[in-house]
Structure 1
Amino acid sequence: MAWRSGLRSNIYDRSRPVSEYIPVKSSNRSTIQNEPRPNSDELCIRTAQLQCERKLRKEAEERCKQLMLKVEHTQAILNLRNQELERERAGRKEAEHMCQSLQITIDKLEQYLRKKNMTVDLHFIPNSNVTSMSMSEITRLQGQLHLQEEKDEKFQNEAHYTGSPKYQTVVVESTSNTQKRTMACASPKFRNFQENGLEF
């Protein structure tokens, strides 16, 4: 019987957990504390804050897009304006070049008229301004200058002809109209007068 009681005690001891043999004091007991659950009001506040932040972020992105569109539009306007300015500058340079060429033409006309002592129904002003004359007057003056240059060139070509000079016999009446005489003249200007039937 004693052996059986010891066997039972051993079996019983083996089946029992080890914690039962360790004395547990009330002071060493660790109480499991559950994590505090968030309050429903706090959850609502956080959710509202997140929604507000998302809304503000979307508004900021939309505002940024609008600003970028405005910047692109302004840049396009600036590019067009720069192109217009370039065209205006090119036109101004061309106009200045035309004015200079017209001023040179007018100066040549004035010098030519002073040199030839011609009486023209025009009033030239020294250092005249090109803008004070109309285009028709300038065109007319250019035509006159061109014609006169052609005449001078023709006259020079006749004066400097090649080959032996041929003298023409010109009959000139004397003042008394009683006798006629012949004379030879090699002057091209004199021949021009004779050809045109002009008299001295």
Structure 2
Amino acid sequence: MPVPRPTIGKSFDRSPEHADHLFIITGGPGSGKTSLIKALALEGFRHTPEAGRSIIQDQVATGGNALPWIDRQAFAELMLAWDLRSYREASRFAGRVLCDRGIPDVLGYLSLCGLEAPPHIRRAAELFRYNRTVFIAPHWPEIFIHDAERKQSMEEARATHQVMTETYAALGYDLVPLPLASVSERVSFVRGHISAR
């Protein structure tokens, strides 16, 4: 006997979920955010990994097409699924959790690509809320390098920073730029801001 399909209606309307203990660190590629999160993890902070890099590694390993240089829309859908799962898992933790990007980054990515964001992706960014304070790593040409997963140009990295700034601001988040400083100085900067909240 088939399982009856749910009726879409008011019973499925949801109020925004707020996970104030989840702090996003975002920015363009090659701006030092992942190195910062790794350093903070060594000091005991829980963290979620970046979706994009892991998805690229998995798709390359399995011969998949959901890659930013093949099918950007499919890549965005996988990022959304990854970030929703990360949100759910991190929400269960006690204490502060650092997120290497978040659900709004999927919106920013689609905007950067000139693609229309489907309604469900916009809804996800509005529904699943993080701490209002979002750390953003400025574009930093001196430390920008390419690697197996990072194929963006310097100009694309700069544009990504700008798009993420606009995307998060439009969603009502307060952006805190990270200083162009050493990893240890950035660790102290983030610690100071988080402990004040």
Which one scores higher on RCO, CA 8 angstroms, separation ≥ 6?
2
Greater strand fraction, Structure 1 or Structure 2: 2
- Decide: shared fold, TM above 0.5: no
Larger radius of gyration: 1
Greater helix fraction, Structure 1 or Structure 2: 1
